[in-house]
C-alpha cells in the first residue's frame, strides 16, 4: 500500500462511514484505534495531523518514546502483556485491551491503585478456540468479571478479540457476532460494559456491521509492516 497517511486515513474513514450506514449505526460510535507497531514516529505524527487521536501499541518498550512524543493522544495497549510490565503499561496507556487472566487483572489493578488511577480494560476472548492465541475461554469470563468487581484499580469496559486469520472477511463474521452475544449475556444492564474491540484492516467493515465500538487498524493506515 502506497499513498500518504492522510489519504489512507480518508479512505479508512470512508469505509467506516459506509459500513456504519449499512448497519444503521453512526460512524461516531466506532473508535478508530490506529495500530502503530513498527511505524516510525513521523508517520504517526502524520496520522495525528490527519485527525487521528487514538493509537494502539503491542509492546511497552516500543511504545514508550511514541507515547512521550504524543502525550495528548489516547494510547491503548493491544499486545500480550506480561505481568512484570503491568506497572509500565499502567503508566503509559489509557486503556489495556488484552487482559487474559485473573492474575494479570489483579496486577494491573494493584499498580493502578498505587498510581491513584482507575484503568479501563477489556478482556481478550479467544473466540476461535485457537491454542496459539491469547485470550480467555468464554467460560472463564464470569469469574474474571466477578474478580474485577472487587478491584478498585480497574474497570472492565468490554471485550476484545482477534479471530482466526482469514482472507475472506466474511469468515470473521460469526466470531464477531459471538463476541457481541457474549458481551450482551454478561453485561446484565451494566452500561459501562459496552465496548467491543474487534476488526482489523481486512475485516473491520464486517466487525462494524456486527457491533464493533473499537476497530484496530494498522496496515490500511500505514502500509504493510516490514
Ligand atoms: C497488528 C494488530 C492489529 C492491526 O492489524 P492490521 O491488519 O495491520 O490492521 C490489530 N490488532 C492487534 C491486536 C494487532 O496486533
71-104 pLDDT, tens per residue?
999 999 999 999 999 999 999 999 999 999 999 9
Q: Which of 12, 52, 218, 219 to mutate to test the pocket of ligand 1 (most atoms within 8 A of CB)?
A: 218
Confidence of residue 133 (pLDDT cuts 50, 70, 90): confident
Residue 35 CB–ligand 1 contact under 6 Å: yes
Here the cell at position 204 is 473491520
Distance 39 CA to ligand 1 centre (A): 12
Residue 34 CB–ligand 1 contact under 6 Å: no
Contact predicate 164/130, CB 8 Å: yes
* Protein residue whose Cα sits closest to atom 10 of ligand 1: 216
Here the cell at position 193 is 460494559
Distance, CA of 217 to CA of 224 (rounded, Å)? 11
13-54 pLDDT, tens per residue?
999 999 999 999 999 999 999 999 999 999 999 999 999 999
Q: Tell me, letter by letter, the H, E, C secondary structure of 147-197.
A: HHCCCCCEEEEEEECCCCCCCCHHHHHHHHHHHHHHHHHHHCCCCCCCEEE
Residues in the chain: 226
Contact predicate 57/79, CB 8 Å: yes
For residue 123, pLDDT beyond 70: yes
Task: Quote the percentage of the chain above a pLDDT of 70.
Answer: 98
* Protein residue whose Cα sits closest to atom 13 of ligand 1: 78
Q: Which of 8, 76, 79, 200 to mutate to test the pocket of ligand 1 (most atoms within 8 A of CB)?
A: 200
How far apart, in Å, are the Cα atoms of 61 and each of 106, 107, 196? 22, 18, 26
> Cα dihedral angle (223, 23, 172, 160), rounded to 10 degrees?
80
Contact predicate 100/123, CB 8 Å: yes
For residue 2, pLDDT beyond 80: no
Contact predicate 67/41, CB 8 Å: no
Long-range CB contacts (< 8 A, 24+ apart) of 166-173? 166/203, 167/202, 169/202, 169/203, 169/205, 169/206, 170/206, 172/199, 172/203, 172/206, 172/207, 173/206, 173/209, 173/210
Amino acid at each position: 500500500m502506497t499513498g500518504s497517511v492522510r489519504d489512507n486515513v480518508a479512505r479508512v474513514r470512508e469505509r467506516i462511514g459506509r459500513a456504519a450506514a449499512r448497519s444503521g449505526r453512526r460512524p461516531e460510535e466506532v473508535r478508530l484505534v490506529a495500530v502503530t507497531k513498527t511505524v516510525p514516529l513521523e508517520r504517526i505524527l502524520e496520522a495525528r495531523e490527519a485527525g487521528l487521536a487514538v493509537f494502539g501499541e503491542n509492546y511497552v518498550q516500543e511504545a514508550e518514546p511514541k507515547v512521550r512524543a504524543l502525550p495528548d493522544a489516547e494510547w491503548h495497549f493491544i499486545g500480550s502483556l506480561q505481568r512484570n510490565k503491568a506497572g509500565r503499561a499502567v503508566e503509559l496507556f489509557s486503556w489495556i485491551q488484552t487482559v487474559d487472566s485473573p492474575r494479570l487483572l489483579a496486577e494491573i489493578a494493584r499498580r493502578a491503585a498505587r498510581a491513584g488511577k482507575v484503568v479501563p480494560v477489556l478482556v481478550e476472548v479467544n473466540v476461535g478456540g485457537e491454542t496459539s492465541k491469547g485470550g480467555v475461554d468464554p467460560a472463564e469470563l464470569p469469574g474474571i468479571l466477578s474478580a474485577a468487581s472487587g478491584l478498585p484499580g480497574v474497570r472492565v469496559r468490554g471485550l476484545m478479540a482477534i479471530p482466526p486469520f482469514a482472507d475472506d472477511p466474511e469468515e470473521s463474521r460469526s466470531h464477531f457476532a459471538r463476541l457481541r452475544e457474549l458481551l450482551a449475556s454478561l453485561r446484565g444492564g451494566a452500561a459501562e460494559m459496552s465496548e467491543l474491540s474487534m476488526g482489523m484492516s481486512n475485516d473491520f467493515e464486517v466487525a462494524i456491521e456486527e457491533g464493533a465500538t473499537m476497530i484496530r487498524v494498522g496496515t490500511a493506515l500505514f502500509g504493510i509492516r516490514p
